[in-house]
Amino acid sequence: MASLRTYDVSAAYLAASAVGDAIPLPFVTQVLDAIDFPPKYRWIFTPIKAAAAVGLLSARWSPGLARLTTAMLTIYFTLAVGLHAKARDLSVATVAAAVNAAIFATLTAKAPAARRSG
């Protein structure tokens, strides 16, 4: 079983990523430009990542929702790897997307740790 701390850290990471998308940080713009993602649709990443952060934080109270969230994040990051490959962008962003896909696939395979009462 995956520890609740793992879910908390992952939620913080996605919340920070959502902020980076909302600003948008120059690095984020460069990555999305590299894969030719249309600027008019880039706004969608902020609410997706914010909702994912909330879903990950739910591991304490709703392990099923947290597991669904990790499954959706696995799909999200797998699609990101595909978009990078299609654009022939083999940058560090591609590696990061692949690592994220692997991490969230692993979390999907394992259930969140049981909450301790006390």
pTM of the model: 0.92
| Segment 48-57, tens digit of pLDDT | 999 999 999 9
- Of the chain, the end-to-end C-alpha distance in Å amounts to 20
Q: State the Cα–Cα distance between residues 98 and 79, nearest whole angstrom.
A: 10
Instruction: Please report the beta strands in 5-47, taking only residues with DSSP state E, as ranges in sequence order.
Output: none
Chain-wide mean pLDDT for the chain? 95
Question: Does the pLDDT value for residue 118 go beyond 60?
Answer: no
Task: Give the phi and the psi of residue 3 in degrees, each rounded to 5.
Answer: -70, 155
Which one is predicted more confidently, 41 or 113?
41
Which residue in 50, 77, 62 sits closest to 4, CA to CA? Answer: 62
How many CA atoms within 13 Å lie on the side-chain side of 71?
A: 10
- Give the gyration radius of the chain's Cα atoms: 15
pLDDT at residue 117, as a whole number: 56
